[in-house]
Amino acid sequence: MAALRAAVLVLLGLCLGCAAAAVPLVIWHGMGDSCCNPQSMGYIKKIVENKIPGIYVLSLKIGSNLIQDMENSFFMNVNDQVREVCSQLAKDPHLKGGYNAMGFSQGGQFLRAVAQRCPSPPMLNLISVGGQHQGSVYGFPRCPGESSRICDWIRKTLDLGAYTQAVQEHLVQAEYWHDPLKEEDYRKNSIFLADINQERGINETYKKNLMALKKFVMVKFLNDTMVDPPISEWFGFYKSGQAKETIPLRETSLYTEDRLGLQEMDKAGKLVFLGVKGDHLHFSEEWFYSTILPFLQ
């Protein structure tokens, strides 16, 4: 009887140990925001924690305080930001077994770079909420939050020379500036987006790492006035050489040549295209619960 009791206790212990723990979540904010703004990322963190008990949520902060975090979303070289995030993730013991990632606006694009460049710890699902994956802010139509003066300066700087070395290295928005009228300048001089989109050659490691995702979810805002063109949020863009007609992902050379493995991922059912009514990053709590939360559980 004692031996039987001991065996039962061992089995119970094994079952308890096998109970499915919530997959950790890493989130990255957008331009002009910070990790812990109670009206944005702090709010997202709170509602996820309320709906998924016991989940570990890491809202990425780039810098030693919230002001630096916000400023770095404009002025810190994106490649340096990605390296910093990869270091943070590698050192976090909560993420050793893998994590889901959710990025907002440029944060979605930057987390894709993390998936391509830093496979350890493994990113399981990537949710891009309004991320500009073929580049964007062509014309920089408007500005988030209280950053209008910064954005006025950025507009002037981009107009003067988005693809000059000094601007590329020190202005975040220039690093994913994709001018369809200057495709050669973009491919040659873009230090971030042209690299992660394999515009100058094929990095097989990037391709392999991205294809390791279980799901790559892309949310497009159907009434977006911030991202130009909005179809960039689904990996589409303008037809080369003009800025009026757009083409979807499946008609781009990135897809037809399968430079990132997106065609293969698409055929395997790994790409998810979601549309939500509203302007950039405008969505309801109900929509988030019904549409996004299932990818986190």
- Cα radius of gyration rounded to whole Å, the chain: 20
The residue that leads in pLDDT, 156 or 198, is: 198
User: Would you call 50 helix, strand, or coil by DSSP?
Assistant: helix
Neighbour-count burial for 50-88, b at 16+ CB within 10 Å, e otherwise: eebeebbbbbbbbbeeeeebbbbbbebbbbebbebbbeb
List pLDDT tens digits, range 132-164. Answer: 999 986 655 566 555 567 777 777 777 778 899
Mean pLDDT of all residues in 51-67: 97
Residue ranges per structural domain of the chain: 25-295
Residue 19, pLDDT > 90, answer no
What pLDDT, on the 0 to 100 scale, is given for residue 17? Answer: 41
List pLDDT tens digits, range 66-101. Answer: 999 999 999 999 999 999 999 999 999 999 999 999
What pLDDT, on the 0 to 100 scale, is given for residue 15? Answer: 43
Is residue 105 annotated as a catalytic residue, yes or no? yes
CA distance 112 to 106: 10
The 3-state secondary structure of 154-195 reads HHHHHHHHCCCHHHHHHCHHHHHECCCCCHHHHHHHCCCHHH
Residue 33, pLDDT > 60, answer yes
Dihedral of CA 290/126/264/180: which sign?
A: positive
Distances (CA, A) of 244 to 180, 229, 240, 241: 10, 9, 10, 10
Strand-pair category, 123-129 with 215-221: parallel
The residue that leads in pLDDT, 16 or 235, is: 235
* Mean confidence (pLDDT) of the chain: 90
CA distance 131 to 280: 10
Is residue 266 annotated as a catalytic residue, yes or no? no
pTM: 0.89
From 105, 128, 136, 190, the catalytic residue:
105
Share of the chain above pLDDT 90, in %: 78
List pLDDT tens digits, range 238-278. Answer: 988 888 899 999 999 999 999 999 999 999 999 999 999 99
From 33, 224, 228, 258, the catalytic residue:
224
Residue 7, pLDDT > 50, answer no
The H or E element spanning position 123 is strand 123-129
What pLDDT, on the 0 to 100 scale, is given for residue 151? Answer: 72
133 φ/ψ angles, rounded to the nearest 5 degrees: -80, -15
291 φ/ψ angles, rounded to the nearest 5 degrees: -105, -40
Joined tokens for residue 145: 């939050």
Residue 1, pLDDT > 60, answer no
Burial class (CB in 10 A: 0-12, 13-18, 19+), 279: middle
What pLDDT, on the 0 to 100 scale, is given for residue 140? Answer: 58
Mean pLDDT of all residues in 221-245: 91
Nearest residue to 90 via CA among 117, 52, 54, 63: 117
Superfamily of chain region 25-295: Alpha/Beta hydrolase fold, catalytic domain (3.40.50.1820)
For residue 275, the cross-strand partners are 220
Neighbour-count burial for 203-225, b at 16+ CB within 10 Å, e otherwise: beebbebbbbbeebbbbbbeebe
Check residue 98 and give left, alpha or beta (phi > 0: left; psi -120 to 50: alpha): left
* Tokens 């979807």, residue located: 248
What pLDDT, on the 0 to 100 scale, is given for residue 213? Answer: 98
Is residue 224 annotated as a catalytic residue, yes or no? yes
Neighbour-count burial for 227-246, b at 16+ CB within 10 Å, e otherwise: bbbbbbbbbbbbeeeeeeeb
